[in-house]
Structure 1
Amino acid sequence: MLEGVETSRLLKTVTEQAYNAVLITDADLTGGGPFIVYCNPAFCRMTGYERSELLGRSPRLLQGPETDRTVIDSLRQGLHQQTFWEGSTVNYRKDGESYVVNWNISPVSGDGKRVTHFVSMQQDITARVRVEAERDMLIQALNQAHDPVFVTDGDARIVFANAAFESLTGYRAAEVTGKTPALLSSGEQSAEFYREMWKALENNQPFQARFINRRQDGSRYHVEQSIAPVLNHFGRRTHFISTSWQVDDLVERENALQIMATRDKLSGLLNRRAGDEALYKAHHEHLANAQPLSVIICDIDHFKAVNDTFGHLAGDRIIQLIAELIDQQARSGDPAIRWGGEEFLIILQANLTAAMGLAERLRSAVEHLQDAEVGLVTLSLGVAEMLHGESTEQLLGRADGALYRAKRSGRNRVMSGAGN
């Protein structure tokens, strides 16, 4: 064990070389006290005073206009009560420059009973307070921003979300803190989409795309979202910042334009141009995945007579009624097209048997359709399945031939184009 002299020498050496400022005062609280009896070099560096300028003086010489009087009153109360005290406020260096100090004061009992001194450990926290103030200002600015912003750490866990984010998503910032943005996923974007996103971010590149996200209440919304890595001074990625702007109105307009470009105005089915694209896509999938491909071509019987007898408004109404039946009967994902004036095309990823079954159901449904003005309406239908090595033109030609035979055979019937 160290002897008393050695202990005192060690404590003095430690105090003199300590990084934090150390100040010792007496315990005399009268006559403007307590007064400084010791300060280490760190305290002198922090205040700008020489040790000789401080000894015997009150620490009050460090106070100034911005010193918080409430803090000083609390300090004085702690001294009078001879209890541990801690606080922070603004002090002033010898040259008049202000700094923020955090310090604690502990009473020291010389004989174990009577307090003879107070020892204070102090630290200049000006830089930390400045950083915190800048952070608070940044947070306030982000919360005033109109567009949603959130920040994640390097593990993609949310550490900040602004008020606009809360308003858009329905989540409070406290609810999402510590969670990943995956809670916003709607499931409507592919795994490949997210792989491309992470490929860019892991290479410290920004990623921007349109996201279909989900609010807390389950409703979907669209945003143009930009995600950027945040790098520290060493070039290491520490955070990600995401900014976005809602584009639901834009998506709605785009969808309306898409409908105008691809939908037949009268029937609501795909138009001829969109039908050509759908047939091309179906043929590509047929070749790539060896899936069966069939088509149904149907034509309203005696349609010219309907127009001639009842007028074009009645003819338009019949087209709409039959288009509605076709849309109801066709399987989800099977394109239904207004192929011509009174002619319709259905594309099926199905074999001839399934296509013939659908065609017969359509024929029967139309046969039971009674228009109050026109009366009975019927369909003739031709069906064909894609053969090995056949083109779409040849497939349509066989279906069209089957439709022609159905017409010649008395109409209101389904004919197969198999083998032709």
Structure 2
Amino acid sequence: MLLRATAEISFNSIVITDKQHNIVYANPAFCRMTGYSLDELRGQNPRILQGPLTDPQVIEKLRHGLEDRGFFSGSTINYRKNGKPYLLEWTITEISDDADEPRFFLSVQKDITQLDAEQTTGNLFAKAIDAAYDGIFITDAEGLIEFANQGFEIITGYTPAEVIGHTPSILKSGKHDEAFYERLWRYLHEGLPFRAMVINRHKDGREIHCQQTITAVKRANGTISHYVSIIKDMTDRVFDELKLREQASHDAMTGLLNRRGGELELEVSLIQCEETSSTYCIVMADIDNFKAVNDTYGHPRGDEIIKAVADILIENTRKSDKCIRWGGEEFIVLLPFCDMDRATRIAENIRTDLAAMTFEEIGGVTLSLGVTDYTSDDTPKTILERVDHLLYQSKRTGKNRVSSEQIA
């Protein structure tokens, strides 16, 4: 009774046949595997499970094994009741009576279809990963590299042997700030894929621009076991795009960003503000009475003034600030990590620097300016409308002045 109870709860499939090889018992696991009930199986020969893909050589080996040694072990394809094939691994052992004559045959079986598929697929994936042109490397949960493919060596110059056991910081270029890496680890710790353009450093010291994706691999219990990184070398494309972008996004006369480039910068800046909750201000400036200057003194004189304003904007701003020629005589300055007091001082300095200049034939020229700051619900449209309103408030109230408004 104990042996039967054990067979009933066994994970493996168990079937017992008599000496004529007719089934006398099959446990629940065997019935689930084959799709037959015990009543349907009892009295049948296991040949009912064979079909076109069943290997006859394996069946012949089975017959000789039982005749010669009373034992068999092997694998082949059998068929379920519904006709679907499955890959079977099984052993058969002879059970003899007191006269040492075969009385029963005990067979323990296992459906290895999925395991075989996983192993076959796993081998295929391993070969495909290693042959991939993109760089692929895998780290453990602590960030130590356990695997790197040939593509990784082609892109970075490092052989797998040189990086295994190290962290990916071996590729660090120093071009990304702490906020970048904080965002990266926040995504990964939350189990989210991280995608970004990353500037890495090649083994020979040059910078390589990579489109990189990092994905967490989780165990069955939800904890992270590994991270898989895929890097695509975009260096040539990046430099080509930078040249085209420089031409497409910058004003030919002043070298400042043009309106198209400025719109993109503003959109990106507002997204960064939302992510970092940082201060951010925008200044809009317009040359007073510029149409009259052009009409009276000609466009070459007008161009001199525009260039002078561009120079003043650059002189009064940081490298991280963005100066834009927004229209004919209209300019915008984007000031990240800048509060209203500082932004208003910058606007005043721009105004006074231009007002202090004297242009041949024309004399003095002035600017009207508006200044506002970013709020959490701002869009490019709303912040531009607000700063434009402040600019024209300066125009209406006498020109050559700065109007500012802090939004609580």
Larger of the two Rg values belongs to structure: 1
Q: TM-score, normalised by structure 2?
A: 0.47
